[in-house]
């Protein structure tokens, strides 16, 4: 019996030994593959240039530099190398040619300035962190060397930019619509700010289009308009350039309005005058800063009285003093504004007051516009 037990125990030991020998290579392999990317040949094999953009960095820790500091420095260098790998794909020169012409009639200086901003934004984008990229790092304690490897799959990068083009163009279109609405209401300074804010966003669209064009070309294919959305972006780019040119060529006006009803401040003229001036063709930008203005309009208006008439009709009257300051000639013009009258039935005093100020606003606009345009 004892001999049988010894044999069984020896058998179990042999089985455990065999299992351990089978597991050990797997453990060793798992540990070894963590830094296999450190070997250049293996790196090139696992991350071929046809499939990946990559950047590698190897830096030695300086005296007094800790492990994490050295690794961070290696990360930055690796990401910079990856960005440089992607950057030649998007030629800044080719990009400049793409944005240099427009079918719309615009001033050349506006086109050149916007194109310059496009190109400078491209430089910033191409040097930034690559979307969807991954980073591997390792620190060798023996040699105090930090290693970093940044990489991104080309198809992943292309898919990212393809989806972003739609999102960015939607945002561009929405912003331009907002700018148009602001301009129609006479808030052209705000409209200009909205248009200027979209320039960098639009540059991202053009960057993505150039990158996708180059990637598809490298694969021996042609990127379709459905992918690049070039027709849509060309149309929006023309609108952008034309909008900025139109807004910059218009007159800048600062408006200061004081208006009261029974001693209380109101905004009948304040809310209407910019829009009416625009409707009547003053081609104005309304600014919130006096020093930006070509003309400064000051209005002091008040309700003078309200009288009840027959058939439950009420009439209200308002008057105003107005001055127009020309910042270039330093002259002040004072148009003569007649008293305005507004009437309403059922003794509705509020509606009668509103009508009086509406008529007053129209007369102010009619008298002021010739002073601005001449």
Range of 49-53, 217-221, 239-243, 338-342 with top mean pLDDT: 338-342
| SS3 letters across the chain | CHHHHHHHHHHHHHHHHHHHHHHHHHHHHHHHHCCHHHCHHHHHHHCCCCCEEEEEEEEECCCCCCHHHHHHHHHHHHHHHHHHHHHHHCCHHHHHHHCCCCCCCCCHHHHHHHHHHHHHHHHHHHHCCCCCCEEEEEEECCCCEEEEEEEEEHHHHHHHHHHHHHHHHHHHHHHHHHHHHHHHCCCHHHHHHHHHHHHHHHHHHHHHHHHHHHHHHHCCCCCCHHHHCHHHHHHHHHHHHHHHHHHHCCEEEEEEEEEEECCEECCHHHHHHHHHHHHCCCCEEECCCHHHCCEEEEEEEEEEEEEECCCCCEEEEEEEEEEEEECCCCEEECCCCCCEEEEECCCCHHHHHHHHHHHHHHHHHHHHHHHHHC
**CA distances from residue 103 to 100, 106, 117, 241, 314 in whole angstroms, order as listed:** 11, 9, 19, 10, 56
Task: Return the higher-pLDDT residue of 2 and 210.
Answer: 210
| Average pLDDT of the segment spanning 193-199 | 84
Report the relative pairing of strands 52-60 and 251-261 from DSSP bridges. unpaired
Give me 55's structure tokens. Answer: 């950047």
d(CA 181, CA 191): 8
Give me 135's structure tokens. Answer: 């980073």
What pLDDT, on the 0 to 100 scale, is given for residue 246?
80
Query: Is the CB of residue 269 less than 8 Å from the CB of residue 360?
Result: yes
The 10s digit of each residue's pLDDT in 46-63 is 999 889 999 999 999 998
Return the domain boundaries, the chain: 37-153, 154-248, 251-373
What pLDDT, on the 0 to 100 scale, is given for residue 358?
97
Phi, psi angle pair for 288, to nearest 5°: -95, 0
Q: Which CATH number fits domain 37-153: 2.70.98, 3.10.129, 3.40.1580, 3.30.1380?
A: 3.10.129
Cβ burial, residue 27 (10 Å; 0-12/13-18/19+): exposed
Alpha carbon 216 to chain centroid, angstroms: 27
**CA distances from residue 83 to 1, 47, 127, 283 in whole angstroms, order as listed:** 74, 16, 6, 45
Task: Return the higher-pLDDT residue of 372 and 357.
Answer: 357
What is the dihedral angle through the alpha carbons of 359, 362, 367, 368, rounded to the nearest 10 degrees? 130
d(CA 348, CA 356): 13
| Average pLDDT of the segment spanning 355-374 | 92
Quickly state the pLDDT bin for 186 (edges 50, 70, 90): low
Quickly state the pLDDT bin for 222 (edges 50, 70, 90): confident
| Average pLDDT of the segment spanning 175-191 | 81
Range 251-373 classified under CATH 3.30.160.150:
yes
Alpha carbon 98 to chain centroid, angstroms: 20
**Residue 372: pLDDT above 90?**
no
**Residue 233: pLDDT above 50?**
yes
Percent of the chain with pLDDT over 90: 46
Mean pLDDT of the chain: 82
Could you identify the residue written with the tokens 């290693």? Answer: 147
The 10s digit of each residue's pLDDT in 74-116 is 999 999 899 888 776 665 555 555 555 444 445 566 777 777 7
Other CB atoms within 10 A of residue 12 CB:
10
The 10s digit of each residue's pLDDT in 5-43 is 344 334 443 443 333 334 333 333 333 445 789 999 999
Sheet with 145-153, strands from edge to edge, namely 52-60, 145-153, 134-140
Quickly state the pLDDT bin for 237 (edges 50, 70, 90): confident
The 10s digit of each residue's pLDDT in 151-178 is 999 989 889 989 999 999 999 999 999 9
What pLDDT, on the 0 to 100 scale, is given for residue 264?
95
What pLDDT, on the 0 to 100 scale, is given for residue 94?
52
> Any bridge partners for residue 303, and if so which?
318
* Reported pTM: 0.56
Task: Return the higher-pLDDT residue of 59 and 241.
Answer: 59
Percent of the chain with pLDDT over 70: 84
Other CB atoms within 10 A of residue 278 CB:
21
37-153 and 251-373: identical CATH topology: no
What pLDDT, on the 0 to 100 scale, is given for residue 6?
46
What pLDDT, on the 0 to 100 scale, is given for residue 331?
92
d(CA 344, CA 314): 6
Alpha carbon 335 to chain centroid, angstroms: 43
d(CA 169, CA 232): 8
Task: Return the higher-pLDDT residue of 113 and 291.
Answer: 291
d(CA 132, CA 120): 23
């Amino acid at each position: 019996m004892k001999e049988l037990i010894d044999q069984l125990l020896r058998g179990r030991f042999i089985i455990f030994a065999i299992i351990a020998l089978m597991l050990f290579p797997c453990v060793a392999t798992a540990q070894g593959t963590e830094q296999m990317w450190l070997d250049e040949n293996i790196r090139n094999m696992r991350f071929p240039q046809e499939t990946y953009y990559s950047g590698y960095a190897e830096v030695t820790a300086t005296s007094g530099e800790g492990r994490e500091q050295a690794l961070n420095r290696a990360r930055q260098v690796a990401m910079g190398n990856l960005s440089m790998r992607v950057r030649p794909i998007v030629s800044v020169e080719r990009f400049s040619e793409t944005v240099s012409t427009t079918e719309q009639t615009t001033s050349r200086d506006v086109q050149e300035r916007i194109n310059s901003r496009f190109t400078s934004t491209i430089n910033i984008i191409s040097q930034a962190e690559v979307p969807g990229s991954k980073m591997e790092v390792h620190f060798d304690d023996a040699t105090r060397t930090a290693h970093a490897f940044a990489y991104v799959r080309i198809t992943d990068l292309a898919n990212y930019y393809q989806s972003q083009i739609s999102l960015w163009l939607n945002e561009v279109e929405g912003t331009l619509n907002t700018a148009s609405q602001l301009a129609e209401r006479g808030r052209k300074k705000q409209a200009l700010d909205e248009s200027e804010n979209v320039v960098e966003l639009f540059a991202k669209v053009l960057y993505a289009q150039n990158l996708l064009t180059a990637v598809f070309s490298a694969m021996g294919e042609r990127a379709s308009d459905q992918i690049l959305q070039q027709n849509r972006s060309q149309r929006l780019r023309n609108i952008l350039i034309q909008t900025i040119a139109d807004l910059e060529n218009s007159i800048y006006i600062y408006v200061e309005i004081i208006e009261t009803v029974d001693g209380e401040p109101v905004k009948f003229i304040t809310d209407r005058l910019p829009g009416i001036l625009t409707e009547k063709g003053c081609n104005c930008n309304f600014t919130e800063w006096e020093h930006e203005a070509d003309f400064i309009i000051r209005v002091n208006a008040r309700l003078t009285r309200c009288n009840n008439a027959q058939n439950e009709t009420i009439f209200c009257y308002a008057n105003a003093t107005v001055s127009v300051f020309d910042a270039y000639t330093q002259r002040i013009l004072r148009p003569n504004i007649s008293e305005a009258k507004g009437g309403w039935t059922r003794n509705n005093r509020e509606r009668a007051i509103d009508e009086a100020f509406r008529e007053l606003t129209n007369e102010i606009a009619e008298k002021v516009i010739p002073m601005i345009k001449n």
